[in-house]
Amino acid sequence: MAAGLSPGQGGQAHRMSGGQVPAGHPAPKVQNPPGPVGRELLLDVSPKGVKPLSVRMDDSESEFSLKVVLVHFKQCLNEKEEVLLEHYLTGWKGLIRFLDHLGTVFSFISKDVAAKLQIMERLCTGPQRDHYSSLQSMVAYETSNKLVDLERRSRHPDSGCRTVLRLHRALRWLQLFLEGLRTSPEDARTSELCASSYSASLAAYHPWIIRQAVTVAFYTLPTRKVFLETMNVGSSEQAVEMLGEALPFIEQVYNVSQKLYADHALLDLP
């Protein structure tokens, strides 16, 4: 969260009435916001953000597959309900491909997610990697060794706790949006679905300029049918069925993570 911005500040994101521009008004020109906020538009709007880097993927992995995401989120929780970071990060790599299908206007969002994943991969393969096998072990290690900036970003701007929190918030947005796609009628407007899920999740953490840029971008979203086809699991009906199988696992991972962060008072890290 940006310094000084509490979840309730700035109002809620503007709810879109659909993918159509109101009569008598020209279609909005979508641009990335100027200045530093454009670097971490969706997840993190602090002025000293990480420069987005792209995650390299083989051509064979470039297409989004809901099956791949399902497999890794199924394996995310062990018998102790610990969130295994290897599967969590791999599941997120699959979700990046879904973000790419939201259109080129959302490419800066997927780049920001990729930057967060690279931070976590460095921690998970670094000298202290034994402490980064699960979300629970990471939180215990970083909090007990004072490796988390609790009030303002200073010595530890790229802590694992802060980085995963940004992914955690974005996961909630995607979970709500995908659930909307699953349960909505065939003629549902994806712009409304996306705006509703954004308002219920990420909008609370973004200032006005970010909310405006994102809601304008919702005009460009493809139809529900196109979204379901990008799942690469067959027909729209098959995609809906697989979403019904995958989303409970994503929700369970989110809920376990939410409770862990709440128990350690980490939900509002700067």
Q: Tokens 């809920």 belong to which residue?
A: 255
Q: What is the DSSP string of 201-263?
A: TGGGGS-HHHHHHHHHHGGG---HHHHHHTT-SSSHHHHHHHHHHHHHHHHHHHHHHHHHHHH
Q: What pLDDT is recorded for position 65? A: 81
Task: Report if residue 7 sits inside a domain.
Answer: no
Task: Report if residue 21 sits inside a domain.
Answer: no
Task: Report if residue 169 sits inside a domain.
Answer: yes
Predicted TM-score of the model (pTM): 0.77
Task: Report if residue 125 sits inside a domain.
Answer: yes
Confidence of residue 8 (pLDDT cuts 50, 70, 90): very low
Task: Report if residue 212 sits inside a domain.
Answer: yes
Domain extent at residue 103: 63-263
Task: Report if residue 25 sits inside a domain.
Answer: no
Q: What pLDDT is recorded for position 43? A: 59
Q: What pLDDT is recorded for position 111? A: 84
More confident residue, 28 or 138: 138
* Residues 80-109 pLDDT 10s: 999 999 999 999 999 988 887 767 666 767
Q: Please check the confidence at residue 125 and state whether its pLDDT lies above 50.
A: yes
Task: Report if residue 241 sits inside a domain.
Answer: yes
* Residues 131-163 pLDDT 10s: 999 999 999 999 999 999 998 888 899 999 999
CATH number of the domain at 152, please: 1.10.3520.10
As for how many domains the chain has, the answer is 1
* Residues 48-78 pLDDT 10s: 333 333 333 343 355 778 888 999 999 999 9
Task: Report if residue 48 sits inside a domain.
Answer: no
Instruction: Mark residue 259 as left, alpha or beta (left: phi above 0; alpha: psi -120 to 50; beta: remaining).
Output: alpha
